[in-house]
């Protein structure tokens, strides 16, 4: 089938074997990307497999659009049993930008599956239909930048590498896999999975393989149409940072979520260092075929107070292989809350100094010195002293040293706040009700690919964030997109706050899954509908059928959005079945409720500020019913699984006593 390479690699590090397998079992049934990875994980692991077991598999999966001119389609999905998950290491995915996905396809593979544990450090080199296990003895202990530099020196600059740093080697549960300077697989802690397998890096140089496209002219036509759609959102012109910034002209429909704690730019060079004794260089690394260029420079950022030390610290974390989100949102918020509640006054001898209270907690809200943070990250990476406890992540650290209640006010399923209406991102009722429902069902922070409802639909609203779209127009857009204006109703009619909210939650569940199977950018495609205004008319949602048209052009198989939405539902139910096999119940889903019992940050709004547990549980009932899942357990039923062509999955769950 066009768009796919037709095979994937299975690399067993224990056996030192490399086998090619046909992709036919998994695609197009599970589309590709995360869906394909879920199919492989279901087949090769069991409910007893844990995150650091050799039996855990780590899947690097591409999508059918990767390597083609389809806009914003050059990403890669990495999936497996994730160390960051809590209280159980739920299977999840973590996206990666850059061009590694493209290189894997040009080398001839839809995916690379890694299992087992190497007897000694190894790295994988893939090129033109051939893969090898290489000795990584000289690379072990190096940071992520040094590893890439060493491998590029051997194989050339056209080689793309995904590597772990010392944090991954020491199984830090919030360690990343890093590519280029900052194309990271961050959430999930998959750097630790690689470390547990004695795997230092995966390198690919592509090759002569080319992706076959069924209808090239249609693909180009559709791609240009989508880029014109982006143009309605607006562009950013040339940005000139006077001190260390690289001059660049970039188009953008969104900004990077976070950098250097203060939304700093990602294109600076030769920034002096005072802690690591080196010059730090960061090139602007965007995804292959990235139409919106989500990384850009802001005017004058390098002249911001304390820029140099913060930039150095950010790059230091990239080199060690640590997750910025955990470091910027999780730990500072937990330290601050523990200070306020009298649980702890200092960390590793450094007094916890809360500079500012307010709408969110960030590292910039704490008065703890830069020297402390360098020392903190170094000790975490090396599991030195109390750093050994913090290397487990906040929820597990809290179990050992106290602060469990404080951790529960920041974390859900092992992941810190993100577009959930609390802490970092304060959105209005009832939008956070849908966010809460999406968070409840997942095994990780779901907002990597479900920004659309809570962010993209909220920010333009005049009554909320001073945008140009009146709230009543949002209701009309909701009717257009979801079939009911109740999807966003509740702001002026609080009694409607829980009505029909399962509809947008499921819509975005599937839209998110579809993007992660293609694999396409969250900020570009329809889970985050690009709102636009007709001249002299009203607002409309962006073109949410775009991926279906691109898929049809690439593969030659005509698939409507409705068809692919059903495929995504199959993948979502498979993910749920894996979680059920791991031990998931409705009780785990309801564990998010206490988090939402803390008030939102909209005290002036005449709306409810905390969740109503009974109404939310009733909403969960409706969510389960609409999905065809059992209300008591939250488990998929045989009827639903067979409807989706997952009879084999239903049979295994029944054998395990986990089919309602």
> Is residue 643 predicted with pLDDT exceeding 80?
yes
Averaged pLDDT, 565-587? 99
> Is residue 542 predicted with pLDDT exceeding 80?
no
Which among 119, 260, 114 is positioned nearest to 193, based on CA atoms?
A: 114
> Is residue 236 predicted with pLDDT exceeding 80?
no
Confidence of residue 374 (pLDDT cuts 50, 70, 90): very high
Per residue in 455-496, pLDDT (tens digit) is 888 888 999 989 888 999 999 999 989 999 999 999 999 999
Q: Name the β-bridge partners of 204.
A: 126, 160
Which among 573, 410, 443, 325 is positioned nearest to 87, based on CA atoms?
A: 443
> Is residue 543 predicted with pLDDT exceeding 70?
yes
> Is residue 449 predicted with pLDDT exceeding 60?
yes
Residue 320 pLDDT? 97
Confidence of residue 100 (pLDDT cuts 50, 70, 90): very high
534 burial (CB, 10 Å; 0-12 / 13-18 / 19+) is: exposed
Q: What percent of the chain has pLDDT over 90?
A: 69
Question: Of 266 and 422, which is predicted with more confidence?
Answer: 422
Top mean-pLDDT range of 263-277, 298-312, 335-349, 579-593: 579-593
Instruction: Assess whether the region 7-204 and the region 417-655 belong to the same CATH fold.
Output: no
Gap between the Cα atoms of 634 and 77, Å rounded = 26
Residue 300 pLDDT? 46
> Is residue 153 predicted with pLDDT exceeding 90?
yes
State the chain's mean pLDDT as an integer. Answer: 88
Per residue in 185-199, pLDDT (tens digit) is 999 999 999 999 999
- Least confident residue range of 152-156, 255-259, 523-527, 588-592: 255-259
Residue 541 pLDDT? 75
Top mean-pLDDT range of 236-250, 359-373, 448-462, 557-571: 557-571
Averaged pLDDT, 23-36? 98
Question: Of 544 and 295, which is predicted with more confidence?
Answer: 544
Gap between the Cα atoms of 321 and 319, Å rounded = 5
Residue 207 pLDDT? 85
Measured CA to CA in angstroms, residue 494 lies from 77, 219, 470, 605 at distances of 39, 45, 18, 11
Residue 208, number of CB atoms within 10 A of its CB? 10
Confidence of residue 275 (pLDDT cuts 50, 70, 90): confident
Residue 539 pLDDT? 78
* Fold category of 417-655 in CATH: 1.10.599
| Cα first-last separation, the chain | 37
> Is residue 264 predicted with pLDDT exceeding 60?
no
Gap between the Cα atoms of 265 and 328, Å rounded = 16
Confidence of residue 531 (pLDDT cuts 50, 70, 90): low
* Fold category of 7-204 in CATH: Aldehyde Ferredoxin Oxidoreductase;  A, domain 1 (3.60.9)
Ranges of each domain in the chain: 7-204, 233-311, 329-408, 417-655
Averaged pLDDT, 233-242? 45
- Least confident residue range of 110-124, 389-403, 589-603: 589-603
Host H or E run for residue 579: helix 561-582
Instruction: Establish whether the linkage from the previous residue to 28 is cis, with ω within 30° of 0.
Output: yes
Confidence of residue 248 (pLDDT cuts 50, 70, 90): very low
Confidence of residue 632 (pLDDT cuts 50, 70, 90): very high
> Is residue 295 predicted with pLDDT exceeding 80?
no
pTM (2 decimals)? Answer: 0.93
């Amino acid at each position: 089938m066009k768009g796919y390479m037709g095979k994937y690699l299975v690399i067993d590090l224990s056996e030192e074997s490399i086998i090619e397998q046909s992709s036919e079992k998994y695609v197009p049934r599970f589309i590709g990307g995360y869906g394909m990875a879920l199919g492989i994980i279901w087949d090769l692991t069991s409910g007893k497999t844990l995150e650091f077991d050799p039996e855990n598999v780590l899947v690097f999966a591409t999508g059918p659009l990767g390597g083609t001119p389809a806009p914003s389609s050059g990403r890669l999905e990495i999936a497996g049993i994730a160390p960051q998950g809590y209280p159980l290491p739920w299977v999840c995915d973590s996206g990666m930008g850059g061009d590694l996905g493209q290189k894997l396809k040009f080398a001839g593979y839809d995916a690379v599956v890694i299992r087992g544990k190497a007897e000694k450090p190894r790295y994988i080199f893939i090129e033109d239909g051939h893969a090898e296990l290489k000795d990584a003895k000289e690379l072990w202990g190096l940071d992520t930048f040094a590893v890439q530099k060493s491998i590029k020196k051997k194989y050339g600059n056209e080689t793309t590498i995904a590597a772990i740093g010392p944090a991954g080697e020491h199984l830090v549960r919030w360690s990343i896999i890093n590519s280029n300077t900052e194309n990271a697989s961050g959430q999930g802690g998959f750097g630790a999975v690689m470390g547990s397998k004695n795997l230092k890096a995966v390198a690919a140089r592509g090759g002569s393989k080319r992706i076959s496209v069924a209808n090239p002219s249609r693909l180009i036509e559709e791609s240009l149409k989508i880029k014109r759609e982006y143009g309605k959102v607006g562009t950013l012109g040339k940005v000139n940072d006077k001190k260390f910034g690289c001059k660049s002209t970039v188009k953008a429909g969104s900004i990077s979520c976070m950098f250097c704690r203060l939304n700093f730019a990602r294109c600076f060079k030769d920034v002096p260092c005072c802690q690591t004794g080196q010059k730090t260089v960061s090139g602007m690394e965007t995804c292959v075929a990235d139409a919106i260029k989500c990384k850009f420079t802001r005017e004058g950022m390098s002249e911001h107070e304390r820029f140099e030390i913060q930039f150095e610290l950010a790059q230091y974390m990239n080199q060690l292989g640590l997750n910025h989100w955990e470091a910027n949102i999780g730990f500072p918020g937990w330290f601050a809350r523990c200070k306020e509640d009298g649980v702890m006054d200092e960390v590793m001898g450094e007094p916890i100094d809360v500079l500012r209270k307010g709408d969110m907690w960030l590292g910039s809200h704490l008065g703890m010195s830069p020297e402390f943070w360098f020392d903190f990250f170094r000790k975490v990476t090396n599991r030195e002293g109390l750093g050994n406890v913090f290397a487990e992540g906040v929820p597990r650290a809290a179990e050992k040293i106290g602060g469990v209640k404080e951790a529960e006010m920041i974390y859900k399923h092992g992941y810190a706040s993100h577009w959930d209406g609390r802490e970092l991102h304060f959105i209005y009722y009832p939008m956070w009700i849908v966010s809460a429902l999406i968070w409840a069902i997942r095994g990780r922070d779901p907002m990597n690919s479900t920004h659309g409802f809570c962010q993209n639909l909220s920010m333009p609203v005049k009554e909320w964030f001073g945008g140009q779209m009146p709230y009543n127009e949002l209701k009309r857009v909701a009717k257009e997109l979801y079939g009911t204006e109740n999807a966003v109703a509740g702001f002026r009619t609080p009694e409607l706050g829980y009505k029909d909210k399962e509809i947008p939650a499921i819509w975005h569940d599937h839209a998110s899954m579809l993007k992660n199977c293609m694999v396409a950018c969250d900020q570009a495609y329809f889970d985050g509908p690009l709102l636009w205004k007709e001249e002299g008319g009203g607002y409309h949602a962006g073109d949410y059928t775009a991926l279906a048209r691109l898929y049809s052009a690439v593969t030659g198989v005509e698939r409507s959005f409705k068809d692919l939405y059903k495929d995504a539902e199959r993948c979502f139910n498979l993910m749920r079945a894996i979680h059920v096999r791991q031990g998931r119940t409705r009780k785990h889903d309801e564990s998010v409720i206490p988090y939402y019992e803390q008030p939102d940050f909209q005290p002036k709004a005449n709306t409810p500020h905390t969740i109503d547990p009974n109404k939310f549980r009733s909403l969960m009932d409706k969510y389960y019913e609409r999905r065809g899942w059992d209300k008591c357990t939250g488990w998929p039923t045989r009827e639903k699984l067979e409807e989706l062509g997952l009879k084999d999955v239903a049979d295994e769950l029944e054998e395990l006593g986990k089919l309602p």
